[in-house]
């Protein structure tokens, strides 16, 4: 799914190939309306899509690519709080005067559609199923985040890394020859930012897992060779693991 930087190549909603996009729940009239009024921007790997502290004007829908959502601490410590891909959303409707407490940046070249608050509000009022599915999405993300919160508070470093690998696999996993491949190239620090630890610990944990044969690493490519054993490591924290990892 190659995205041109040319703005004239703006994808129209009614014939958009992204089937999972929530906008698809709107009726045709509104699909056209949204498609005509939205803006579309191509981001390169590493680009910021949302800056922390930026004013909220509307909502972002990921057309193509992969994105991470993060919040900064006071030095260069960051916490990656969410991973999202094509079909998912970023940001949120906000009352005027609100600002983003989180930032978002592209993990690979990505195309993002943006819809303004007012139009969005009208779309919500006229497409109940659209609103409903978005509500369900937020509700599910909230539960997932609540669960991860417990993990960050209670897990050991090794468990946090196992958890981060599972999370990455759920978000960007790809099955190749019975192995699960994490289909995104991340620095060690970026993995550490997901797990909530520092890069040195991430490295130590990853090489430990590699020694045990649980994973394979070659530079930035990670393969989960024994997915089930990784799950076993964190199972005690997820009594209802089927809820999250289905």
User: Using CB under 8 A as the criterion, which residues of the chain lie in contact with its own copies when the complex forms?
Assistant: 52-53, 69, 71-74, 77, 79, 81-82, 92-93, 98-102, 121, 124-126, 128-129, 131-132, 134-136, 138-143, 145-150, 152-154, 196, 236-240, 242-244
* 201 is a site residue for DNA (CB under 7 A): yes
Binding partner of residue 200 among its own copies, DNA, none, CB under 5 to 8 Å per kind? DNA
Cα 148 to chain centroid, rounded: 14
Of its own copies, DNA, none, which one does residue 152 interact with (CB within 5 to 8 Å by kind)?
its own copies
Angstrom CA distances, 210 to 6, 120, 189, stand at: 43, 47, 18
The answer to the question of residue 157 lying near DNA (CB under 7 A) is yes
Backbone angles phi, psi at 59, to 5 degrees: -130, 145
| Min CB(192)–DNA separation in Å | 9
Residue 223: strand pairing partners: 181, 216
d(C-alpha 139, C-alpha 77), whole Å: 28
Q: Provide, rounded to whole angstroms, the least separation between the CB of residue 193 and DNA.
A: 11
123 binds DNA (CB under 7 A): no
- Between residue 208 and residue 237, which ones bind DNA under the rule CB under 7 A? 217, 219-220
Question: What CA dihedral angle connects 216, 214, 231 and 179, to 10 degrees?
Answer: 50
Name the binder of 73 from its own copies, DNA, none, CB < 5-8 A by kind: its own copies
- Least spacing, CB of residue 219 vs its own copies, in Å: 26
CA distances from 132 to 38, 91, 139, 144, 190 (A): 21, 17, 10, 18, 33
The candidate with the shortest Cα–Cα distance to 182, out of 211, 151, 220, is 220
Q: Specify the residue, 41 or 152, whose C-beta has the smaller distance to DNA.
A: 152
Q: Any contact of residue 18 with DNA (CB under 7 A)?
A: no
Which of DNA, its own copies, none binds 44 (CB below 5-8 Å, type-dependent)?
none
Residue 67 in contact with residue 138, Cβ under 8 Å? no
Between the CA of residue 80 and those of 40, 122, 140, 145, what are the distances in Å?
Answer: 25, 32, 18, 11
**Which residue from 33, 92, 144, 188 is in contact with DNA, where contact means CB under 7 A?**
188
Q: Contact positions toward DNA, by CB under 7 A? A: 156-158, 187-189, 197-201, 203-204, 206-207, 217, 219-220
């Amino acid at each position: 799914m190659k995205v041109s930087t040319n703005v004239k190549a703006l994808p129209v909603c009614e014939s958009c190939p992204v089937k999972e996009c929530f906008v698809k729940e709107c009726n045709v009239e509104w699909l056209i309306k949204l498609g005509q009024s939205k803006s579309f921007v191509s981001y390169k790997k590493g680009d910021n899509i949302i800056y922390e502290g930026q004013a909220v004007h509307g909502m972002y829908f990921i057309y193509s690519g992969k994105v991470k959502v993060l919040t900064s601490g006071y030095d260069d410590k960051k916490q990656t709080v969410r991973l999202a891909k094509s079909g998912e959303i970023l940001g949120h409707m906000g009352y005027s005067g609100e600002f983003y407490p989180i930032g978002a940046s592209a993990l690979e070249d990505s195309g993002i559609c943006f819809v303004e608050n007012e139009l969005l509000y009208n779309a919500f009022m006229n497409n109940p199923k659209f609103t409903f599915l978005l509500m369900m999405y937020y509700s599910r993300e909230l539960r997932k985040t609540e669960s991860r919160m417990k993990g960050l508070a209670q897990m050991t470093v090794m468990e946090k890394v196992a958890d981060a690998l599972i999370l990455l696999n759920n978000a960007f996993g790809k099955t190749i020859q019975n192995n699960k491949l994490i289909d995104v190239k991340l620095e060690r620090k970026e993995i550490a930012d997901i797990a909530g630890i520092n890069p040195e610990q991430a490295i130590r944990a990853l090489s430990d897992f590699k020694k045990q044969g649980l994973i394979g690493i070659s530079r930035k490519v990670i393969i989960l060779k024994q997915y089930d054993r990784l799950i076993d490591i964190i199972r005690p924290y997820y009594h209802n693991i089927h809820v999250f990892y289905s």
